[in-house]
């Protein structure tokens, strides 16, 4: 199959754009890799793979390839990096359509020229591509005010696993009639097809930006301030908690945890909120450093990417109801300590999303890390939440399912997968319940 498929792929994309083996995906090395340059070429590549029964893995920026279970099969890696063009930019209607391989950072730089923003801040933003972002539906600290990817997608073009091209949603406004198919592809992790183009709505750029970074002697003091913030009428863009270990990574005095808020809006709104938060932090027993504009953006970049690039990480993401967040942070710290590990924890303090990095994360500690992850998953699920493994060595993944207890409706998800991908060749095995 390989030689025949290789020459068919070369006839579609041209020589030099097919090679093998491809880069490993979560430890599994695809036999071939291909770099189509247009949406038509993606469709022809997918059709060729389908006809050969070859399993495909779409690749964006590669920031999130540890998310999910390792691929059950991997024949062809489909790089989307050459699909990086803007298709249509309509500033008057605050929307933009671009190809899936374009970097989020490049799109944000472009729309900033018109004083507009796409207010998404996933970790690893510099490398994240639009298609990968939609496929993985990540969120960063600004989720508090702006929601997640699914709140900003108006439409998309997708190549289905048999090569057929479809268009969901619309451009300009959200003009869905019938089922909202966009939602099906968002967070489908490339299991239902390859996203080739996405249309986003945009926002006018806020006039000002500032941040208040507070340091607190212990977690209880910081969480009391979070409670006070949630009970107030203030709405920061982001409210992030960093435990002592995470705060240490960010620099600053040892033995303190951090609470940080990001603020944007009109000059008056920002000034007012800076005053209020400075007061909250100091009255609550902490310190408050105010950062403006570029300094504020740099600080948020540091917080957003704090856990990125950790060597051989064991990294999980926990989502729980807001009220359970402080207890989960404490549980992570306690369980890690008992196992002889450290838990570096960051939490979107007002949305109930935590990320826990277990350090040291490499193979010498698989048993201990497994114990901590199992304990944390039990706690999260008891609070009606979930724990998803974002990255871990293969040895650990073999003993701990990345997704946890299958969600309700999993049989329907399996039927949908079979309907879209009867040959089971699109990112097989990576998703929930081995889909
Ligand atoms: C250190 C780190 C921390 C992270 N923290 C968080 C976090 O806190 N919260 C969170 O929500 N996310 C988090 N993520 C996830 C990450 O930010 C997103 O998943 C990212 O947007 C993926 O973009 P990418 O271009 O790198 O995609 P890739 O990593 O290349 O691909 C991601 C998945 O999408 C598939 N895919 C890629 N392109 C396409 C396409 N065009 N069509 C269909 N499928 C495609 C791939 O096969 C793969 O399954 C984190 C990632 C890292 C590395």
Q: For the segment 290-326, what is each residue's pLDDT rounded down to a tens digit?
A: 999 999 999 998 888 888 766 567 899 999 999 999 9
Mean pLDDT of the chain: 91
Q: How many CB atoms lie within 10 A of CB 294?
A: 9
The pLDDT-based confidence of 57 (bands split at 50, 70, 90) is very high
Reply yes or no on whether the pLDDT at 246 is more than 90.
yes
Among candidate residues 316, 346, 364, 339, the one with its CA nearest the CA of residue 239:
346
The pLDDT-based confidence of 428 (bands split at 50, 70, 90) is very high
d(CA 46, CA 113): 36
Confidence (pLDDT) at 398: 86
Ligand 1 centre distance from Cα of residue 125 (Å): 10
The protein residue whose alpha carbon is closest to atom 49 in ligand 1 is 189
The protein residue whose alpha carbon is closest to atom 44 in ligand 1 is 190
Ligand 1 centre distance from Cα of residue 151 (Å): 17
Reply yes or no on whether the pLDDT at 362 is more than 80.
no
Confidence (pLDDT) at 179: 83
Which residue would you say has higher pLDDT here, 358 or 170? 358
End-to-end, the C-alpha distance of the chain in Å comes to 24
Mean pLDDT in residue range 336-357? 93
d(CA 219, CA 241): 9
Reply yes or no on whether the pLDDT at 424 is more than 80.
yes
Ligand 1 centre distance from Cα of residue 128 (Å): 7
Q: Does the pTM exceed 0.85? A: yes
Confidence (pLDDT) at 316: 93
Mean pLDDT in residue range 101-110? 97
**Residue to mutate, 81, 120, 121, 138, ligand 1, most ligand atoms under 8 Å from C-beta:** 138
Average the pLDDT over each of 11-15, 67-71, 263-267 and give the range with the smallest value: 67-71
Confidence (pLDDT) at 208: 94
The pLDDT-based confidence of 433 (bands split at 50, 70, 90) is confident
The protein residue whose alpha carbon is closest to atom 11 in ligand 1 is 138
Ligand 1 centre distance from Cα of residue 272 (Å): 36
Percent of the residues in the chain that have a pLDDT greater than 70, as a whole number: 96
Confidence (pLDDT) at 90: 94
291-295: long-range contacts, CB 8 A cutoff, minimum separation 24: 291/210, 291/211, 291/212, 291/213, 292/208, 292/209, 292/210, 293/208, 293/209, 293/210, 295/211
Reply yes or no on whether the pLDDT at 252 is more than 80.
no
The protein residue whose alpha carbon is closest to atom 53 in ligand 1 is 63
Percent of the residues in the chain that have a pLDDT greater than 90, as a whole number: 71
DSSP letter at 398 equals T
342 Cβ contact partners less than 8 Å away, ≥ 6 residues apart: 245, 336, 358, 359, 360
Reply yes or no on whether the pLDDT at 360 is more than 90.
no
Q: pLDDT for 79-94, tens place per residue?
A: 999 999 999 999 999 9
The protein residue whose alpha carbon is closest to atom 23 in ligand 1 is 132
Reply yes or no on whether the pLDDT at 202 is more than 90.
yes
Determine the atom of ligand 1 nearest the C-alpha atom of 58.
Answer: 47
Confidence (pLDDT) at 173: 63
What is the bridge-based pairing of β-strands 76-79 and 32-34?
parallel
Determine the atom of ligand 1 nearest the C-alpha atom of 83.
Answer: 41
Determine the atom of ligand 1 nearest the C-alpha atom of 60.
Answer: 30
Reply yes or no on whether the pLDDT at 65 is more than 90.
no
d(CA 101, CA 117): 19
Which residue would you say has higher pLDDT here, 424 or 70? 424
Tell me the β-bridge partners of 59: 79
Average the pLDDT over each of 160-174, 180-194, 268-282 and give the range with the smallest value: 160-174
Ligand 1 centre distance from Cα of residue 138 (Å): 7
Mean pLDDT in residue range 201-211? 95
Confidence (pLDDT) at 120: 95
d(CA 20, CA 37): 18
Q: pLDDT for 255-298, tens place per residue?
A: 999 999 999 999 999 999 999 999 999 999 999 999 999 999 99
Determine the atom of ligand 1 nearest the C-alpha atom of 100.
Answer: 41
What residues line ligand 1, using a CB cutoff of 6 Å?
A: 57-65, 67, 80, 100, 122-124, 127-129, 131-133, 135-136, 138-139, 189-190, 194-195, 307-308, 317, 355, 390, 427, 430
Q: Using CA of residue 241, residue 244, residue 250, residue 251, what is the dihedral sign?
A: positive
């Amino acid at each position: 199959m390989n030689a025949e498929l290789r020459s068919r792929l070369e006839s579609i994309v041209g020589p030099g754009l097919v090679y093998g083996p491809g880069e490993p995906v979560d430890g599994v090395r695809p036999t071939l890799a291909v770099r189509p340059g247009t949406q038509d070429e993606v469709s022809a590549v997918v059709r060729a793979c389908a006809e050969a029964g070859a399993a495909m893995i779409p690749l964006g920026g590669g920031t999130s390839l540890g998310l999910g279970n390792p691929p059950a099969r991997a024949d062809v890696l489909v790089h989307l990096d050459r699909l990086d063009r803007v298709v249509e930019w309509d500033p008057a209607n605050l929307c933009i359509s671009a190809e899936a391989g374009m970097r989020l950072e490049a799109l944000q730089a472009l729309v900033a020229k018109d004083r507009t923003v796409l207010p998404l801040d996933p970790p690893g933003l510099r490398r994240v591509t639009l298609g990968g972002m939609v496929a993985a539906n990540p969120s960063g600290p600004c989720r508090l005010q702006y929601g997640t990817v699914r709140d900003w997608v108006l439409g998309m073009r997708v190549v289905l696993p048999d090569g057929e091209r479809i268009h969901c949603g619309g451009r300009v406004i959200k003009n869905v009639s019938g089922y909202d198919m966009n939602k099906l592809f968002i967070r489908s992790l490339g299991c239902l097809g390859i996203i080739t183009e996405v249309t986003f709505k945009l926002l006018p750029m806020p006039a000002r930006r500032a941040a208040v970074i507070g340091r607190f002697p212990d977690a209880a003091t910081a969480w009391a301030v979070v409670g006070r913030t949630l009970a107030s009428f203030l709405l920061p863009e982001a409210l992030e908690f960093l435990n002592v270990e995470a705060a240490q990574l960010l620099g600053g005095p040892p033995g303190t945890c951090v609470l940080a808020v990001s603020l944007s809006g009109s000059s008056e709104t920002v000034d007012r909120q800076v005053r209020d938060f400075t007061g909250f932090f100091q009255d609550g027993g902490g310190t408050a450093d105010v950062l403006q504009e570029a300094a504020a953006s740099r600080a948020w970049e540091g917080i957003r990417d704090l856990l990125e690039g950790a060597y051989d990480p064991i990294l999980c993401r926990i989502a729980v109801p807001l009220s359970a967040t402080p207890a989960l942070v404490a549980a992570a710290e306690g369980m890690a300590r008992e196992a002889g590990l450290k838990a570096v924890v960051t939490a979107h303090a007002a949305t109930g999303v935590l990320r826990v990095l277990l350090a040291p994360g490499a193979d010498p500690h698989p048993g201990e890390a497994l114990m901590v992850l199992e304990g944390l998953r039990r706690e999260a699920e008891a609070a009606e939440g979930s724990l998803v493994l974002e990255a871990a060595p293969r040895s650990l993944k073999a003993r701990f399912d990345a997704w946890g207890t299958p969600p309700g409706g999993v049989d329907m998800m399996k039927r949908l997968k079979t309907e879209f991908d009867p040959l089971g060749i699109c990112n097989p095995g990576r998703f929930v319940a081995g889909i």
